[in-house]
A and B are shown apart, each in its own frame.
Chain A
Amino acid sequence: MKLRFLTFCALFPLALCQAQELFPHADPASNIPKGVLGIRLFNEGYQEINQFRSLQSVRFMLGLSSKLMLTQSFNFSNHHGKKFPADFVRNDGTIGNHTHGVPKGNKYPYLFENLNLNIKYRFLSIDGEKRHFRMAAYLEAAGGNEAHDEAEPSLMGDNGGAGAGIIATKLHNRFAISGSIGGILPQSYSFQRQDSTLQIKYGKAINYSLSIGLLCLPLKYKNYKQTNVNLYAEFIGKAYQGAQVFSNGEKIIIANVPALEKGSYIEFRPSVQFIFNSNLRIDLSMSTPMINRSYVKSAPVYFFTIQRYFYFK
């Protein structure tokens, strides 16, 4: 009985909410309207031993047609040095005192990381009254050549490379759910050190997400000026191969460096979203590991996003 009451108390607020699919992290299958420009300022930060690491992304989203959308993201961060230290991976497979999780003692510079171009095509739309099921496919390419010292690739900052995937989103009155699966083919990174040329091939990866969204306020719409409050729960992860390191073309057997080994993880990312004047969107969010962990970032990671659409007529 007590359990039933507690369940009721927990679920009652959700019963007042409607579905919402403006996910802070995963992209839904829906696109930005044709001829509209969206600008998103995405901030991510976490504390790592001796310094605060942050990533900023300036994202331009343009609706090319009702089904096609182009996104350009310019990513900046203090995640990488300008180049690897000479002892990044020694010929005996050991690493210097700098890999993620080990005190580095030096501050990382704030640099431009990469440019990500993403084109998304919505190929299926089954719409009804306050509901839809949509599917979209995306292709992305990232240009950049970062001294990224983990196997896990990311085309939103850490790596150059290419990616593709599909997204399915279901919106039905009080429930919105979206899933995506994609692949990442990262570009390798080479640098010259005193005795040899070192090349690191990052792991190829599969990225996946499951997102749930709820529109909680207002309970009843009166006008466009009412502030919308939305809640989201997202589960985001990757499975990636281990990195391979070559010295003058010869493979180095890496000795027990978890960040360079293959891995997989799922993070839980809860968010609250405010939409002002039916346009200005502010997302507050965090992520914490749920199954395994990402070696790229130290949990918890905090996110702050501002987004606005610009209509030209």
Chain B
Amino acid sequence: MKTKICLLILLLALSSAKAQFSVARIKVNGLTCSACSYATQKSLLELDFVDSVKMDLNTNLAVVTFKPSKKIDIQLLSKKVYDAGFSVGSLTAIFTFNSYTLSENGCFDFEGDLYHFEKTASQILNGATTLQFIGKKYMDKTEQKKWKDVKIEDNCKQDKNFSGNIYNVIVQ
């Protein structure tokens, strides 16, 4: 009986794991020098929801970890790379889902922003999931061409008062 209660508590704790972004990986394009990487890192660190940035100076991959209590704005991550004078080659972020039932090409609301899943079958999203962001601000020109016809499905449309960001994502 005691074991069952413990298991139940554990299951409850797991099922109520807080839905949140934890880490983003940004491939930064258009640079070769460490001074350029440093400028990009400094630019990303200006964001109040960014906890740390680790740049791989040889591959120009930035691993950005987020502060758990802050609202994450993925669009600002991209903007900060462009502000430093460079471009985003690809951007992925790890999101911890809490048993979310996603319909085919469905949407997910989180902290006032809308995440539209493109080319995604209906499924239950649970635990740490890597989302790849698609669109002009989040990928290089070659990749953009592959996704140029992306549009938000009718079942994702928000009311007129919606003022958050709308992101197109795929599950990696």
A125 / chain B contacts, CB cutoff of 8 Å: 30, 87
Once bound together, how far apart are the Cα atoms of A32 and B39, in whole Å? Answer: 9
Asked whether B42 lies within 8 Å of A311 as measured between CB atoms, the reply is yes
A65 / chain B contacts, CB cutoff of 8 Å: 83
A275 / chain B contacts, CB cutoff of 8 Å: 33-35
Asked whether A224 lies within 8 Å of B33 as measured between CB atoms, the reply is no
Scan B27-49; emit 1 where CB is below 8 A from any A CB, else 0.
Answer: 10111111101111011011000
CB within 8 Å for A129 and B43 given contacts A224-B57, A226-B34, A278-B35: no
Whether a CB of chain A sits under 8 angstroms from the CB of B85 is: yes
Whether a CB of chain B sits under 8 angstroms from the CB of A194 is: no
B106 / chain A contacts, CB cutoff of 8 Å: none
Chain-B contact segment, one of A33-41, A46-54, A197-205, A245-253: A33-41
Number of contacts between A and B (CB, 8 Å)?
A: 96
Distance (Å) between the CB of B146 and the closest chain A CB? 16
Once bound together, how far apart are the Cα atoms of A31 and B31, in whole Å? Answer: 12
Distance (Å) between the CB of A312 and the closest chain B CB? 9
Asked whether A129 lies within 8 Å of B29 as measured between CB atoms, the reply is yes
Distance (Å) between the CB of A274 and the closest chain B CB? 12
Whether a CB of chain B sits under 8 angstroms from the CB of A131 is: yes
Chain A facing B: main interface SS: loop
| Size of interface on A: residues with Cβ below 8 Å to B | 40
Whether a CB of chain B sits under 8 angstroms from the CB of A88 is: no
| Size of interface on B: residues with Cβ below 8 Å to A | 28
Partner of B29, one of A32, A36, A132, A223: A132
Asked whether B45 lies within 8 Å of A313 as measured between CB atoms, the reply is yes
Once bound together, how far apart are the Cα atoms of A265 and B38, in whole Å? Answer: 38
CB within 8 Å for A130 and B140 given contacts A33-B83, A34-B83, A309-B39: no
Scan B65-102; emit 1 where CB is below 8 A from any A CB, else 0.
Answer: 00000000000000000111111010000000000000
Contacts A130-B32, A131-B30 given; 4 further ones with Cβ under 8 A? A19-B32, A66-B84, A125-B87, A311-B42
- Can you list 7 A-B contacts with CB-CB less than 8 angstroms, sorted by A residue number? A33-B85, A125-B30, A132-B29, A224-B34, A224-B57, A228-B33, A278-B38
